[in-house]
Amino acid sequence: MTRKAIVYGLLAGIIVSVIMVISMATSSQEMEGGVGMLIKGYAGMLICFSMIFGGVRSYRNHEGGGYISFGRAFGLGAIIALIASVMYVITWMLYSHFFMADFADKYAAAMLAKAQAANLDAAKMAAKVKEIDDFKAMYQKPVMVAIMTLMEILPVGVVMALISAGVYTKKVRVK
């Protein structure tokens, strides 16, 4: 099981990392958000996490003799998701450090512009400015950036692991 998890996890990690780098390199300099982020970000994650289905099915068919329990299928899928997610985090940390060192400032400016366009009252605007300042301060800490980035992708992987476990679970038939 470990070999399948590593192979499929690395494949998924490579896929999601390449998709992220390509989408970041080809996106406009402005902070997009909204539908563009959804399509580029989460669609890439779903594509990469198709490796979970492949890994669980391959394990079931080759090592499991056609059968796999829900727990084993979910465990395998979760390990694949974790490996891919860690690779995603490492890729983001390196890419943002070398190619987008001003990411937090640009993102904060986009959040502020959005708040100003919403014509918030003074109290709400002050709260939004504090939230933006807190974000910028937090983004100075690499551990927090890694945790935030992991929380972007790992829940999607866990859901995909649950779905694949449900799809591929086959209990041993009682004779």
Residue spans of the domains in the chain: they are 2-100+143-168
Q: Residue 100: which of 27, 7, 47 has the closest Cα? A: 27
pLDDT at 121: 83
pLDDT of residue 162: 96
Q: What are phi and psi of 68, to 5 degrees?
A: -155, 140
CB 77 within 8 A of CB 55: yes
Ramachandran bin of 173, using left for φ above 0, alpha for ψ from -120 to 50, beta for the remaining angles: beta
For residues 171 and 69, the answer to whether their CB atoms sit within 8 Å is: yes
| Cβ proximity of 4 and 76 under 8 Å | yes
Q: What is the pLDDT of residue 39?
A: 67
pLDDT of residue 85: 96
Are 111 and 30 in contact, with CB atoms under 8 Å apart?
no
Instruction: Please report, in tens digits, the pLDDT of each residue of the chain (175 residues total).
Output: 689 899 999 999 999 999 888 887 776 555 555 556 666 677 888 888 999 999 999 999 998 888 899 999 999 999 999 999 999 999 999 998 888 888 888 888 888 888 888 887 888 888 888 888 888 888 889 999 999 999 989 999 999 999 999 998 876 655 5
Output the pTM of the full model. 0.83
pLDDT for 163 equals: 95
